[in-house]
A and B are shown apart, each in its own frame.
Chain A
Amino acid sequence: MPEEYLVAQDLHKSFNEHKAVNGVSFAIHKGEIFGLLGPNGAGKTTTIRMLSTVLEPDQGDVTIGGHSMKREADAVRNLIGVCPQELALYVELGALDNLVFFGRMAGLSSQEAKEQAKTHLALVGLEERGKGRIDKFSGGMKRRVNLAVALMGHPELLFLDEPTVGIDPQSRNNIYETIEGLRDKGMTILYTTHYMEEADRLCDRIAIMDGGQIIALDTPHELKAQIGPPEQVTLEDVFLKLTGRSLRD
Chain B
Amino acid sequence: MIQPRLVWLIALKDLKLFIRDRLALFFFILFPFMFVVMFNFIYAGVGSEDDRLVFHLVTLEEETETALSYQIIAAIETPDESALQPGESQVVREDDYDELRRQVEDKELGGFLAFPVDFSEGIYMGRGAEIEVVADAEAVSYRAALYGLADGISSWIGANNVVEKAISELAKEQAPAILESIIEALGGQLIAGEPLIEYTSEKVGEVEAEQPSNFVIPGYLVMFVFFAAALSSEAIVRERQNHTLERILASSVRRFTIIGGIFTGTATKGLVQMIIFWAVGILAFNIDLGIAPAAVIILSFLMVIVSASFGVMLATLVKTDRGAGSIATLAALIMAPLGGCWWPLFITPQWMQFLSKVTPHGWANEGFNKLMLFGADFADVAPEMLALVIFTIIFGSIAVWRFRTAAG
Contacts and interface: CB of A to CB of B under 8 A. Distances in A.
B247 A88 contact: yes
Contacts of A101: 9, 13
A93 B247 contact: no
Interface stretch (B195-203, B206-214, B238-246, B318-326): B238-246
Interface string A133-150: 000000000000000010
A88 B20 contact: no
Contact of A54 (B10, B13, B16, B246): B246
A55 B406 contact: yes
Interface string A41-83: 0000000010011110000000000000000001001101010
A181 interface: no
B250 A77 contact: yes
Given A54-B249, A74-B252, A90 B6 contact: no
B235 to A, nearest CB: 10
Given A54-B406, A77-B252, A82 B247 contact: yes
Contacts of B247: 82, 84, 88, 102, 149
A84 B243 contact: yes
Interface of A: 15, 49, 52-55, 74, 77-78, 80, 82, 84, 86-90, 92-93, 97, 101-102, 104-107, 149, 153
B405 to A, nearest CB: 7
A105 B20 contact: no
Interface of B: 6, 9-10, 13, 16-17, 20-21, 242-244, 246-254, 405-406, 408
Contact of A105 (B9, B17, B242): B9
Contacts of B252: 74, 77-78, 105-107
Contacts of A49: 246, 406
Contact of A92 (B21, B249, B250): B21
Contacts of A78: 252
Contacts, number: 66
A120 to B, nearest CB: 15
Nearest to B10: A105
B244 A88 contact: yes
A158 to B, nearest CB: 12
B246 A105 contact: no
A54 B246 CA distance: 7
B248 A105 contact: yes
Given A54-B405, A55-B406, A86-B243, A106 B251 contact: yes
B180 to A, nearest CB: 67
- Top 10 nearest A-B pairs by Cβ distance? A105-B251, A88-B243, A88-B247, A106-B251, A92-B20, A82-B250, A77-B252, A54-B246, A52-B250, A107-B252
A149 B250 CA distance: 12
Contacts of B242: 86-89
Contacts of B248: 102, 105
Q: Name the residue among B249, B250, B405 with the largest chain A CB count within 10 angstroms.
A: B250
Nearest to B241: A86
A111 B251 CA distance: 18
Contacts of A52: 250
Contacts of B20: 92-93
Given A105-B252, A106-B251, A93 B243 contact: no
Contacts of A106: 251-252
B251 A54 contact: no
Given A93-B17, A97-B16, A84 B246 contact: yes
B251 A153 contact: yes
Given A90-B13, A102-B248, A106-B251, 17 more contacts: A49-B406, A53-B249, A54-B405, A74-B252, A77-B250, A78-B252, A82-B250, A84-B243, A84-B246, A86-B242, A88-B242, A92-B17, A92-B20, A93-B13, A93-B17, A101-B13, A104-B9
A105 B20 CA distance: 21
A80 to B, nearest CB: 7
A105 B406 contact: no
A52 B243 CA distance: 13
A89 B244 contact: yes
Given A54-B405, A88-B244, A104-B6, A80 B16 contact: no
Contacts of B6: 104-105
B243 A107 contact: no
Contact of A93 (B10, B16, B246, B254): B16
Contacts of A80: 250
A87 B6 CA distance: 22
Nearest to B251: A105
A113 B16 CA distance: 18
Nearest to B254: A74
B175 to A, nearest CB: 63
A149 B408 CA distance: 24
Contacts of B9: 101, 104-105
B256 to A, nearest CB: 13
Nearest to B246: A54
